[in-house]
Structure 1
């Protein structure tokens, strides 16, 4: 049995994770422990969206779910939020997961780092981003990816000026997600990234890949993959896309362990 503990912000597309458990068809558990984002409930009122996202990823908010996660027997921990990580910048995001690793005594990461490691797993370097964040937030993910050494050839932001479209992203059906991926694709991109963990995508990643003719990485997919990577567990599950259909990393690809603190 391998247990990957996830800290998930609020409530949106959490149904993706039990679905992924079933699709892995193995002795893998992916329990979720919800964190209070505070967004829309007082936190961030009178503040910018950037400040609100940073507050959602603050150490005291994330620490609330760590003890439950440990008691569940988790072997690794992933902060299942992309914008709740990259808004801290490359160095700040490292500090965020280092704090989680110390608090849990487990290998820890976040969805932002999961995307970086997953692109490396595929042996790719040029990416297109389909972001549901507001236009002032989406470029921060591109900056994060660039700091990781990736070439971001395009960013399509569909959030409006007042806040991100992910507020209703959990209601999006497959057709709308397909339209987003097609619109975000770029001829020079080797991979298309969908960084919103509020989108339901687990059931149709191969369809998205067939649509654009290249790998598509979605937030919930890479989050689970990252947790398994930290737990040293490789799984063959092509129904979850190219990422889960790669048994061995490409020649020359590196596999960073991530941040690990055991106490």
Structure 2
């Protein structure tokens, strides 16, 4: 049994995780602990408070009892908002508090892009423009070339969590760019796991979504290799 611990802020699209658990190997478990979201706002000050060390540390005791072998802060905006160095410090503090390997969704995107061997990416974000630009800056700091970034202007995770298939497909379509080798949908509040095969078929290229790369990153940290074609190109081959 491999157990990945996920610290998820509030409630929005956490249903993606049991969906992935069913699709993955039967001895993989995804243990979700909900952290205090504080103010639900895609705004810099609110996101910095959401990702504060004390809020993340409050959930790690439960993950230890669950037998987690790794932990991922399952929030993109609440990690990249700290910048490249600050996000590294955030996961270092989380690893110390949890006593196990730790990462965040933001670094999951970085590592997944590298795993796919991609250099040029397009960002299709639900966020307001200023928050989208912070994610773009984070990706550029990792060495990726961002050829396009589209912001949708959504302020709250609660609203993002109401989006369904039509909105997700339109977001990806609008955010794609001919020069992009992969398209990134960075919000963990967005339900995407059910649409991964359709997204990739529609765009004709790999698509990375927040909840997908969060789980992949946790498995990577736990040194667990698995694959499932229904979870997109990232999971379509052994790595």
| Same structural fold, with TM-score higher than 0.5 when normalized by the shorter chain | yes
Alignment partner of 1:80 is 2:74: yes
Matched with 1:139 is 133
Q: CA deviation at 1:49?
A: 1.7
Give me the TM-score of the superposition, normalised by structure 2. Answer: 0.97
Matched with 2:170 is 179
Tell whether the 8 Å contact from 1:158 to 1:165 is kept in structure 2 after alignment: no
Matched with 1:38 is 38
1:24 and 1:239 map into 2 onto residues whose CA distance is 9
Matched with 1:261 is none
Tell whether the 8 Å contact from 1:209 to 1:216 is kept in structure 2 after alignment: yes
Matched with 2:181 is 190
Matched with 1:29 is 29
- Greater mean deviation of Cα atoms: 183-192 or 198-207: 198-207
Deviations 1:105-150 (CA, angstroms, capped at 9, x unpaired): 1000000000000001101010000111111111000000000000
2:157 and 2:35 map into 1 onto residues whose CA distance is 17
Tell whether the 8 Å contact from 2:25 to 2:226 is kept in structure 1 after alignment: no
Q: 2:51 aligns with which of 54, 57, 61?
A: 57
Query: Which of the pair has more CA radius of gyration?
Result: 1
Alignment partner of 1:199 is 2:193: no
Matched with 2:234 is 243
Matched with 2:88 is 94
Q: CA deviation at 1:26?
A: 2.3
Matched with 1:230 is 221
Q: Number of matched residues?
A: 239
Matched with 2:101 is 107
1:147 and 1:141 map into 2 onto residues whose CA distance is 10
Give me the TM-score of the superposition, normalised by structure 1. Answer: 0.89
Which sections of structure 1, spanning at least 5 residues, go unmatched? 249-263
The CA RMSD over aligned residues, in Å, is 1.2
2:183 and 2:157 map into 1 onto residues whose CA distance is 18
Q: CA deviation at 1:167?
A: 3.1
Tell whether the 8 Å contact from 1:6 to 1:30 is kept in structure 2 after alignment: yes
1:123 and 1:49 map into 2 onto residues whose CA distance is 32
Q: CA deviation at 1:165?
A: 5.2
Q: CA deviation at 1:56?
A: 0.3
Alignment partner of 1:167 is 2:158: yes
Please state which structure has a larger fraction of its residues in helix. Answer: 2
1:183 and 1:153 map into 2 onto residues whose CA distance is 13
Alignment partner of 1:69 is 2:63: yes
